[in-house]
Structure 1
Amino acid sequence: MATTAQEQAQLVETSKRLAAFQAVKDYLRPEYTRVGIGSGSTVVYVVEAIAALGHDATANMSFYPTGAQSEELIEAAGLNLQYISKLPAGKQLDVAFDGADEVDDDLNLIKGGGACLWQEKIVAASAKQFVCVADFRKLAPRLGTAWKKGIPIEVLPMAAPRVLDELQRLGSQNPRIRPGLPGKAGAIVTDNGMWIIDAPFAPLLHAKDSESSAEGGSGSNGRGTVDALADRLIKIPGVAEIGLFFGKNGLEVASGAQKPVAAYFGMADGTVQVKTPGGV
């Protein structure tokens, strides 16, 4: 029997909660003192899972938000709020939890649907371990397969027209400036005073597929590898940050990793699927 829209929505929320509680159980160790908290609907359940551990378990932990939403969640849960700008030099977060708009088979991510991608990348790259939490809708073999809205790109407003032109030359299919709230004129403005451009591309290849790519992974005509396209996008003058999280994870480099060490997916059947660099 077909599910109603309300039943489907409830299924998605249940899936998010299952993934969040399992991720916190597996990756939030009692000895940790610095924890990153991302943005988005799934992170609501991450904070719920952390708060459920009780004050004694979290009293020595400080929580670093990626934006206003996660800051409010941390404070509402009675957790210790701290800011990434206050992280001592040479120190890292022990772990960071965040969601994603899409996750591919190689654990590359598209993020930025909530317009917090720059802060999210800073927090993720400041953590020894970045853990992604999502529901079954976000899992795809290639980035751009399920998420059709495009790669979020944070840009300087004055550079937006030029960036749009350059994106079209790179093969983006109808890139556009993201509008603000309904009934409010103009573009959405990020916490950093920037605009967001959403740039759809053809499904992207993994780095291991570059030799078989028609463009050798260059990202031309919208059909390249995640790494190659990311390199081109970030070099466009006026681009502040991009919503592709790629490259190395915290198991491969000591600092600066953008990719998760694990991705947790709440599945429609009530199970939680965990993807790591070694597989499922």
Structure 2
Amino acid sequence: MSTSAAPVDPVEQSKKLCAYAAVQDNLKPHHRIIGIGSGSTVVYVAECIGKMPNKAEFVCVPTGFQSKQLIIDNKIQLGGLEENPTIDIAFDGADEIDSGLNCIKGGGACLLQEKLVADSSENFIIVADDRKNTGVLGKGWKKGIPIEVIPNAYNKIIKELTALGGAPKVRPGAPAKAGPVITDNGNFIIDCDFGEIPAAKVADLNSKIKAMVGVVETGLFVGMAQKAYIGNADGTVTTLTV
């Protein structure tokens, strides 16, 4: 009786290809402290690092619970920002990427920790499949910009975001949890739709949101990534640089 192999999911294959290419192209011999982000594509970043013969030399800093578990599962040494304030290189996913490599991140509510790791990194590399590479923020990602806020400020921030031209809403925890999503830092997430945001206006919008008292951080990653590796459904990998 003959057996046939399970079909390969082209999206998963594209994620794996771009993640492996990103690690193999950018992880240099002198790199020791590595930031590991969150998301479905970063699973393959951790897998690739976990297969390296010298993986015992690395310390990996996670951006949240998922990435911490990825590091542990791949038997890589786990570290934190407290003892590793300077990170050699970090790899993370994105919910959407524009033509200037600005990103929307935070669909998984880890944006603050993700931005801390990215900001602490000498090199920040994005890995994603081609559905995320729309060229304009808000074109494909319709859920809005994730904004982490302290809980007692959410109504104030909703009012100010509306005045800025956005359509904000507190992210619900349903169906798993009654009430709002609570981040790893004990805060709420407001998702605010501003429609399509031209690359030239992303930085200004980010500054205006961050200036609101009660906002902890935004999911707009402005000018942080040096490269993005995009996995295409046809099996190729596109590399974008600023």
Specify the TM-score bucket, using the shorter chain as the normaliser: over 0.9
Look up the match of 1:95.
89
Aligned residues: 237
Q: Does 1:41 align with 2:40?
A: yes
How many angstroms does 1:31 deviate by?
2.2
Report sequence identity in percent. Answer: 50
How many angstroms does 1:42 deviate by?
1.0
The whole-number CA distance in structure 1 between the counterparts of 2:11 and 2:149 is 32
Q: Matched residue of 2:134: which SS?
A: coil
- 1:159-197 deviation digits (Å, cap 9, x = unpaired): 001111111111113x11001141421000000000000
Q: Does 1:228 align with 2:221?
A: no
Structure 2 counterpart of 1:228, which letter? D
What runs of 5+ residues in structure 2 fail to find an aligned partner? 1-6
How many angstroms does 1:17 deviate by?
0.6
How many angstroms does 1:206 deviate by?
2.0
The whole-number CA distance in structure 2 between the counterparts of 1:188 and 1:25 is 36
The whole-number CA distance in structure 2 between the counterparts of 1:206 and 1:265 is 19
Look up the match of 2:236.
271
The whole-number CA distance in structure 1 between the counterparts of 2:65 and 2:176 is 22
Which of the numbers 115, 120, 124 marks the counterpart of 2:109? 115
Q: Does 1:197 align with 2:197?
A: no
Look up the match of 1:221.
none
Q: Matched residue of 1:163: which SS?
A: helix
Contact 2:33 2:84 in 1 (8 A): no
The structure whose RCO (Cα within 8 Å, separation 6+) is larger is 2
What runs of 5+ residues in structure 1 fail to find an aligned partner? 1-6, 208-224, 248-258
Look up the match of 1:136.
130
Look up the match of 1:155.
149
Q: Does 1:242 align with 2:242?
A: no
Structure 2 counterpart of 1:42, which letter? T
Look up the match of 1:31.
30
Look up the match of 2:226.
261
Contact 2:96 2:134 in 1 (8 A): yes
Look up the match of 1:222.
none
The whole-number CA distance in structure 2 between the counterparts of 1:242 and 1:261 is 19
Q: Which has the larger strand fraction?
A: 2
The whole-number CA distance in structure 1 between the counterparts of 2:174 and 2:79 is 29
Q: Matched residue of 1:274: which SS?
A: strand
Which of the numbers 169, 173, 180 marks the counterpart of 2:173? 180
Look up the match of 2:3.
none
Equivalent residues in 2 for 1:39-118 (5 A)? 39-54=38-53, 57-87=54-84, 92-118=86-112
Look up the match of 1:217.
none
How many angstroms does 1:240 deviate by?
0.3
Question: Which TM-score applies when normalising by structure 1?
Answer: 0.82
The whole-number CA distance in structure 2 between the counterparts of 1:234 and 1:124 is 17
- 1:189-208 deviation digits (Å, cap 9, x = unpaired): 0000000000001211122x
How many angstroms does 1:52 deviate by?
1.6
Moved over 2 A (4+): none
The whole-number CA distance in structure 1 between the counterparts of 2:11 and 2:169 is 28
Question: Which TM-score applies when normalising by structure 2?
Answer: 0.95
Look up the match of 1:11.
10
Q: Matched residue of 1:83: which SS?
A: coil
Structure 1 counterpart of 2:222, which letter? F
